């Protein structure tokens, strides 16, 4: 099974409600779809969103990086040579993580298809059912409380609360939501780099003193501020999770050695794909550090790949934040990963099992 071509498409899916964070507001998913074709007729699918404020990737840069730097290296390569192919992808261009991730996802999809088995089994097996949290966008307090109650009524037992815009209002937001869902759902905070280190300690201490129990706080300060992360981790009881502070394996090692975070958030769009995500999970396990598997605003192509990885590495990936498809107005993908509210389950079909992608717009 040799790679013969790589093609591109766009997939646009409206969100149920606008997605609001401290960094941006988004009303629909608009992702680049990568289609890797082979001489046997098998096709692998990958996906990458434009997340310029986080990874630096835009639709144009994703397509150009793959078309000019990655694709020429992969044409004619045999899918069985997985390690060689992932090495070629990772060495093709500096950074451009989302572009690399999209191609790697498609290649891993094909590798599993080659052996006629679901991707998670190729990655090590596991119980093919996991549960995800759901994001509550930053908004007026009453709206966030209502959204939280609605999510609990839909079966979600863990809520990720977006904060990071106004420290005083953030504290009141979290208190109100906690009072509304206490005993019914766990709360995770995601500050999206919106606080300073001292603000984070102040806010978390205020919440802890008020009796609010949080499962974790995600990336309270700028991604480059490892000293700030360490400052917070040393001063609060709430576990601190690194997101934008860790992209690749080396950064994870540095962060763990500094004791700058308690948990590592793995996202395929940050790691450059599945191969580095596996390395990060293995490093974290070595140091007895838990991981979360997360996603950007993605559909059930790349999120499906993340779900397969989460199942295979469930002993270290103990937290799941794969709510991208749940935030979409509909699921355009017919594949082997089913997103049913909080439950994500994987069927026993090869690779990602993608049979159809509705609304795909092919690019020349």
Q: Is 5 annotated as a binding residue?
A: no
Query: Of 71, 100, 267, 319, which is the active-site residue?
Result: 267
Q: Is 160 annotated as a binding residue?
A: yes
Q: Is 328 annotated as a binding residue?
A: no
CA pair distance 36, 45, nearest whole angstrom: 6
Is 162 designated active site?
A: yes
Is 121 designated active site?
A: no
Compute φ and ψ for 247, nearest 5 degrees: -105, -50
Say if residues 126 and 307 touch (Cβ distance below 8 Å): no
Compute φ and ψ for 349, nearest 5 degrees: -125, 155
Q: Is 285 annotated as a binding residue?
A: no
In the chain the first and final C-alpha atoms are separated, in Å, by 25
Closest CA to 20 of 161, 146, 145: 161
Max CA-CA distance within the chain? 62
CA pair distance 36, 26, nearest whole angstrom: 28
CA pair distance 103, 246, nearest whole angstrom: 21
Q: Is 295 annotated as a binding residue?
A: yes
Q: What are the strands of the beta sheet with 337-340, ordered from one edge? A: 129-131, 343-346, 337-340
Closest CA to 313 of 287, 342, 339, 284: 284
Query: Of 20, 71, 100, 162, which is the active-site residue?
Result: 162
Number of Cα atoms under 13 Å in the Cβ half of residue 9: 16
Q: Is 196 annotated as a binding residue?
A: no
Structure tokens at 214: 């949080």
Q: Is 133 annotated as a binding residue?
A: no
Q: Is 209 annotated as a binding residue?
A: no
Number of Cα atoms under 13 Å in the Cβ half of residue 342: 16
Please enumerate, by residue number, every residue annotated as part of a binding site for substrate.
24, 135, 160, 295, 297, 321, 323
Please enumerate, by residue number, every residue annotated as part of a binding site for Mg(2+).
190, 218, 243
Catalytically active residues are 162, 267
Please enumerate, by residue number, every residue annotated as part of a binding site.
24, 135, 160, 190, 218, 243, 295, 297, 321, 323
């Amino acid at each position: 099974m040799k790679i013969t071509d790589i093609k591109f498409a766009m997939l646009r899916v409206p969100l149920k409600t606008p997605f609001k964070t401290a960094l941006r507001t988004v009303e629909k998913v608009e992702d680049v779809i990568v289609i890797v074709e082979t001489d046997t007729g098998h096709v692998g699918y990958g996906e990458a969103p434009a997340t310029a404020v986080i990874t630096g990737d835009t639709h144009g840069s994703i397509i150009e990086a793959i078309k000019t730097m990655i694709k020429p290296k992969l044409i004619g390569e045999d899918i069985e040579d997985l390690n060689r192919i992932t090495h070629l992808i990772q060495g093709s261009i500096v950074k451009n993580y989302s572009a690399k991730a999209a191609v790697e996802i498609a290649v891993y999809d094909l590798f599993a298809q080659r052996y006629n088995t679901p991707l998670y089994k190729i990655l090590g097996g596991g119980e093919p059912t996991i549960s995800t949290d759901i994001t509550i966008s930053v908004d007026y307090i009453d709206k966030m409380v209502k959204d939280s109650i609605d999510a609990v009524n839909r079966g979600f037992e863990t809520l990720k609360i977006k904060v990071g815009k106004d420290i005083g209002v953030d504290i009141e937001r979290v208190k109100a939501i906690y009072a509304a869902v206490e005993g019914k759902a766990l709360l995770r905070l995601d500050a999206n780099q919106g606080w300073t280190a001292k603000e984070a300690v102040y806010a978390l201490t205020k919440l802890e003193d008020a009796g609010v129990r949080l499962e974790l706080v995600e990336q309270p300060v700028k991604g480059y501020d490892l000293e700030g992360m360490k400052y917070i981790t040393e001063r609060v009881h709430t576990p601190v999770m690194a997101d934008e502070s860790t992209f690749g394996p080396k950064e994870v090692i540095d962060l763990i050695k500094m004791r700058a975070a308690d948990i590592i958030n793995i996202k395929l769009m940050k790691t450059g794909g599945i191969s580095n995500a596996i390395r990060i999970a293995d490093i974290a396990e070595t140091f007895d550090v838990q991981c979360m598997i997360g996603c950007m605003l993605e559909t059930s192509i790349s999120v499906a790949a993340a779900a397969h990885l989460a199942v295979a590495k469930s002993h270290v990936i103990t937290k799941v934040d794969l709510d991208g498809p749940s935030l979409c107005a509909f699921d355009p993908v017919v594949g082997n990963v089913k997103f049913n509210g909080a439950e994500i389950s994987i069927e026993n079909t090869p690779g990602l099992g993608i049979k159809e992608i509705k609304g795909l717009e092919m690019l020349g």
